[in-house]
Every structure is written in structure tokens, then in C-alpha cells.
Amino acid sequence: MSKRALVVGAGITGVATAIRLRQIGWEPVMVERAAQRRGGGYFIMLFGTGKAAAGRLGVLDAIGTRSGSGATSYTVDRDGRRSPAMMPSDLPGEPRMLLRGDIERALFSVLPADVEVRYATVPTAITQDETGAQVTLLDQATGVTRTEKFDLVVGADGMRSTVRELVFGDDLLHPLGFMIGACLLDRPLTGFGMSEGLWLNEPGRSAIAFSFADRPSSLMFTYRADDSGNPFAGTPIENLRSAFGPAATGPILGELLDRYEEAPDVLFDSVNQVRMPRWHDGRVVLAGDAAWCLTLYSGMGASTGMAGADLLGTMLARHDGDIGTALKAWETRLRPHIEEQQAQVHADRLLFIAKDDQEYAMRTQMMQMAATSGGLPGNTSFDSKNRDISG
Ligand SMILES: Cc1cc2nc3c(=O)[nH]c(=O)nc-3n(C[C@H](O)[C@H](O)[C@H](O)COP(=O)(O)OP(=O)(O)OC[C@H]3O[C@@H](n4cnc5c(N)ncnc54)[C@H](O)[C@@H]3O)c2cc1C
């Protein structure tokens, strides 16, 4: 009889896990808190680690790319002065420029149709013994709860994971002291072509329009959170306007903020890492943002979500019948790569935002060198972002 796994969360990690478990003959059941698929999202990169895993999962072609020679970018200031800027797709390993929804859609397109996905469903209790994990699931639409037994529970339920809270406790989320706002543009910015993006960087705050070859840009605002007060106190646009004030916005920044305000779907959140001494406990394992949230600055969330899922299947197949040994082998193989990524988060961040005047001067010099030499100096290791983490 095939083994049964509960996968909590139908994001990139969860769907990749379900695909991989099915590849090795398991029966995955997915539960997702949202009432339907969460196809949305903004700019995302896919580095070599993710491309290799996506290839094994059979989704690399379906993911496609929005990089292309037509996409360009400028460094701009509030007065509208422009100079040529780096394109993320030129970074080592030539990461693919994508929208999160491109990867989510590709994964769902190869998920076998008979994998059960229950929406509006969340776990409320998890207990385990040597025979299995008992999970109480609440159907939020009907209010009905039922307890079911699984051989394995995979918590792929994101940065604020319920599985993590139920099994591993809280206090594992580490705020980095920065905020993010993001939205998609439905039309080009005034004075810019469809595939032209921009970087407006100042000490402690940045506004970036990531350009794509085939559609208008994805906006990202990021700023250093004020230590005093609640960063979520105002509405997202109020917080952004305050973070980019009090100086006059000028035409470009003014339009960026207006476009965020009018966007139908926006992201506004704090930037956090998840750091845990152990990602598995008995028959429960965490993966993706639930286990190691690397932050948007790393550009590795989707890549490590898929790589972690792929490797999990490999280890479960290799240690067939011994889940404890499989999970241990999985974590032993994966953890050094993830910790390497976590350790370089501030070097990664510097690509997007300088925390103060001193970092700003360093970043400006770094970007000027990158523009002339074509390479990026600094502590960011792109080797680790392009390494294949297969078993
Ligand atoms: C809507 C959305 C937009 C995003 N946009 C971007 C972006 O633009 N750029 C970027 O770099 N990253 C973005 N991310 C994060 C990025 O997707 C992840 O870093 C990466 O893909 C790894 O994802 P994950 O599947 O581990 O976690 P997530 O993508 O967070 O997926 C977790 C899933 O679990 C579900 N869930 C949460 N709690 C429960 C629960 N209690 N029970 C059941 N299900 C639950 C969530 O609804 C979600 O579908 C976005 C995530 C989401 C959900």
C-alpha cells in the first residue's frame, strides 16, 4: 500500500512536494488555507539551484522566462536623471526573471489530476506516535473538523507556518528590520517603455521597477523600519508615503507611489528570516519558507522551495520505510546550503537597499564597478545560488 502524506500549503514548495511524492509512489493530500489557488505574486528570480530542481520535477519548460534582450533598466533619482543600470538577469547563472504565478501555474500544470487538494482547510492539532501522525483538519467553509492519520506531514505553509507553531513552537521568526511593498504594473510608467525598469535608491529606502521582456514591470518598495512604533500601524500606502517623505517625491517616485495606491492587489510585509535548529520532528517536516524563509532579497525562495521538495522525495525513496533516517539524511544534505544563504542575507540585501549613508556610499561604488566591469564585487556568493542540491 502506498504511503500517505499530508502537505500543508499549496504554494510553490507544497505543490513541488506533492509532485515529487507522487513521483516516488506516495499518495500526497494537500490542504490550503485559501479558498482557492493563490496564483498571484510579483517579481521572482529562478537561479541555477531552482532550475536544476525544476528540471527534475518536469516543470522547467512550463515555467518559461520573462528575461530577454529587450528588457533594460535605469538608475534614476527624484529629479528624473537616468543612467544605465544592472539587470538582475545579468547576474551570474543568468537567473530567469519571472512572476511568482508563472512557477505556481507551471507546477499545477504537471500535478497529477487525481492528487486531492482541499481548499479552505487548515490543521489545528498534530500528534504522533510510531504508527503515524494524527492531524486534526478544520474545513473553514463548513466548520467541520476531522482527524486523519498520515505517514508523514510536510509543513509547506509559508513564513508564518501553523505546522511550525503546532509542532516546533514559536519565536522562530527573526525580523531583519526592513519592510517591503510590491505590486504589478498594468501599463508602462510615464516616459518609460514597457520593458524599461528603474532603480531609485537612497539611504534606507529604495523603489525598484523590475522589467520584463514581455509585460510591464513589477514594483518593489523597500525601506528600513523605524525602530520605534508599529510598522503596520497605517495602511500600506500611508506607510510607504511616510517612509519616502518628507522630501518632495518628484515625478517618478510620485507616480510609483500613486500606481501602488491604485493597484488592485498589493503586498506589504516585514522582512523576516526563519531560523530553526531542526526542520524535522518524528514524522513532521517543514520545508520552504516555513522552515528557512530566506527573504525576497536572497532571490532564492522559489529555488530552495523546489530544491528542498525534490531532495525530500529522493531521500524518502532512498530510505524507503525508514522515515526518520530519510528526514535526517535530507536535512544533513540541505542545511549547509540553506545556512550559507541565510548568512549572506545582508550582502544580498545591499543589492536592493542600503541601510544607512555608509552602506549607501558602498553600494553606489559597487554598482558603478558592476556597470563598468560587468561583475558584482562584495560578499554575495552566486555560486551558492546556482549549485545543484540534488541527493
Ligand atoms: C500570494 C503570494 C505572493 C508572493 N509573491 C512573492 C514575490 O513577488 N516575490 C518573492 O520573492 N516571493 C513571493 N512570495 C513568496 C514566495 O512564493 C516564497 O518565498 C517561495 O515561493 C517559497 O514558497 P513556499 O511555498 O514555501 O511558501 P508560500 O509561498 O508562502 O506558500 C505557503 C502556502 O501555504 C498556505 N498556508 C499558510 N498557512 C496555512 C495553513 N495554516 N494551512 C494551510 N495552508 C496554509 C498559504 O496560503 C500559501 O499558499 C509570495 C508568496 C505568496 C503566497
The four Cα atoms 358, 228, 234, 348 give a dihedral, to 10 degrees, of: 30
Distance CA 327, CA 333 (A): 10
The four Cα atoms 92, 93, 96, 100 give a dihedral, to 10 degrees, of: -90
Can you tell me the mean pLDDT for 311-324? 95
Residues in the chain: 391
What confidence tens digit (pLDDT) does each residue in 154-165 have?
A: 999 999 999 999
pLDDT above 70 covers a percentage of the chain that reads 97
Whether the predicted pLDDT of 378 surpasses 70: no
What confidence tens digit (pLDDT) does each residue in 337-375 have?
A: 999 999 999 999 999 999 999 999 999 988 887 766 656
Written as nine digits, the cell of 290 is 516555513
Helix axes 12-23, 100-110, angle to 10 degrees: 20
pLDDT at 25: 96
What confidence tens digit (pLDDT) does each residue in 6-17 have?
A: 999 999 999 999
Question: Which residues are near ligand 1 (CB < 6 Å)?
Answer: 8-14, 31-34, 38, 40-44, 100, 122, 156-159, 162, 182, 288-290, 296, 301-302, 305
- What pLDDT band is residue 289 in, cutting at 50, 70 and 90? very high
For a pocket test of ligand 1, which of 157, 221, 297 has the largest count of ligand atoms closer than 8 A to its C-beta?
A: 157
pLDDT at 391: 81
Atom of ligand 1 nearest to the CA of 10: 49
Can you tell me the mean pLDDT for 8-28? 98
Whether the predicted pLDDT of 1 surpasses 90: no
Per CATH, the number for 4-61+101-173+273-345 is 3.50.50.60
- β-pair type (4-8, 152-155): parallel
Residue 246 CA: distances (Å) to CA of 240, 261, 292, 297: 11, 18, 36, 26
Atom of ligand 1 nearest to the CA of 289: 26
Written as nine digits, the cell of 353 is 537597499
Average confidence score pLDDT of the chain: 94
Per DSSP, the three-state class of 391 is coil
Can you tell me the mean pLDDT for 211-221? 97
Helices assigned H by DSSP within 58-188: 60-63, 100-110, 162-168
- β-pair type (173-184, 72-76): unpaired
Whether the predicted pLDDT of 316 surpasses 90: yes
Can you tell me the mean pLDDT for 325-342? 97
Written as nine digits, the cell of 47 is 537561479
For domain 68-95+176-272+351-386, say whether CATH 3.30.2350.10 is its number.
Answer: no
pLDDT at 382: 87
The residue extents of the domains of the chain are 4-61+101-173+273-345, 68-95+176-272+351-386
Cα 215 to ligand 1 centroid, rounded to whole Å? 23
Cα 104 to ligand 1 centroid, rounded to whole Å? 10
Cα 180 to ligand 1 centroid, rounded to whole Å? 15
Can you tell me the mean pLDDT for 73-91? 91
For a pocket test of ligand 1, which of 8, 12, 42 has the largest count of ligand atoms closer than 8 A to its C-beta?
A: 12
**Distance in angstroms between the alpha carbons of the first and the last residue of the chain:** 25
* Contact predicate 288/276, CB 8 Å: no
Can you tell me the mean pLDDT for 272-285? 97
Residue 217: which of 99, 50, 369, 382 has the closest Cα? 99
pLDDT at 375: 60
pLDDT at 379: 55
- What pLDDT band is residue 376 in, cutting at 50, 70 and 90? low
Can you tell me the mean pLDDT for 217-225? 97
Can you tell me the mean pLDDT for 188-196? 97
Whether the predicted pLDDT of 321 surpasses 80: no
Q: Whose CA is nearest to atom 50 of ligand 1?
A: 41
- Going through 130-184 in order, the beta strands assigned E by DSSP cover 132-139, 145-150, 152-155, 173-184
- Cα 297–Cα 298–Cα 304 angle in degrees, nearest 5: 140
Atom of ligand 1 nearest to the CA of 99: 8
Considering only 132-141, 226-235, 282-291, which range has the smallest mean pLDDT?
A: 226-235
Q: Report residue 73: phi and psi, to 5°.
A: -150, 155
Residue 44: which of 180, 190, 192 has the closest Cα? 180
